[in-house]
Structure 1
Amino acid sequence: MTLVYLAGAILSEVAATLSLRMAAQADNKRKWFIGLGAGYLAAFVLLTLALHGGLALGVAYGIWAASGVALTALASRILFNEPLTKVMSLGIALIVAGVLTIELGAVH
């Protein structure tokens, strides 16, 4: 169940970050700021539940932060037509490799 909480925390954080981008360019900013606040609140609650379930802090935070960066970059490419260069794609691949390395290192 801890991984479900962590996945929810990641998706909530990405949704909140994308709401921040929408708030920056929308006429009706209020609804986007509500989504932003709700997304970050849900992300922290779900991350807390994942930690409470026994997930190590270093592993949980590493996966949460790195996955959030990678998914936000991909989503911003799709939703906002922002650039995603070969160098940025390499960075995302390195993030994935780093998260896998942390996860493998946590298993004894």
Structure 2
Amino acid sequence: MGAYLYLALAIAAEVTATVSLKLSDGFSRLGPSIFVVIGYGVAFFALARVLKLGLPIGVAYAVWAAAGVALVAIVGVLFLKEPFNLAMAAGLVLVIGGVVLIEVGSSQ
């Protein structure tokens, strides 16, 4: 499995774990709590594989973090009825733009 495939797995697992953290209601609900523990375990395992396969840590972490932030925000708005406004949209654009700049800078 290539580095970017592991990175996609790490992102998906981290987003699942983070959303499950919200749904666990302070770890008082067993099902979501199990997803939290497994999700973060898979996320860190996959991120470790990404680094072992040679993707620079700055790029890997930037993509992982930014994608996680963006996807969790989208899930929050679409499924958890959390607020979203222009300032939040601008923040997401800046986070994603920062990742693009890190990716471009690392390839030079």
TM-score, reference length from structure 2: 0.94
C-alpha displacement at 1:9, in angstroms? 0.4
Matches within 5 A, 1:14-33: 14-24=15-25, 29-33=29-33
Q: C-alpha separation between the residues in 2 aligned to 1:78 and 1:25?
A: 22
Per the alignment, residue 41 of structure 2 pairs with: 41
Matches within 5 A, 1:19-98: 19-24=20-25, 29-98=29-98
The residue type equivalent to 2:23 in the other structure is M
Q: Deviations over 1:65-99 (max 9, x none)?
A: 11111110111101101001110001111111011
Task: Kindly indicate which of the two structures has a greater share of residues assigned to helix.
Answer: 1
Cα distance 1:25–1:45, how it changes in 2: closer, same or farther (>3 A)? closer
Q: Can you give the 5+ residue segments of structure 2 that lack an aligned partner in the other structure?
A: none
The residue type equivalent to 2:79 in the other structure is L
Per the alignment, residue 10 of structure 2 pairs with: 9
Q: Can you give the 5+ residue segments of structure 1 that lack an aligned partner in the other structure?
A: none
After the TM superposition, which segments of 4 or more aligned residues of structure 1 sit over 6 Å from their partners? Answer: none
Q: C-alpha separation between the residues in 1 aligned to 2:63 and 2:19?
A: 19
Q: Aligned pair count?
A: 107
The residue type equivalent to 1:24 in the other structure is D
CA RMSD, 1 decimal: 1.4
The residue type equivalent to 1:58 in the other structure is G
TM-score, reference length from structure 1: 0.94
Percent same amino acid at aligned positions?
A: 39
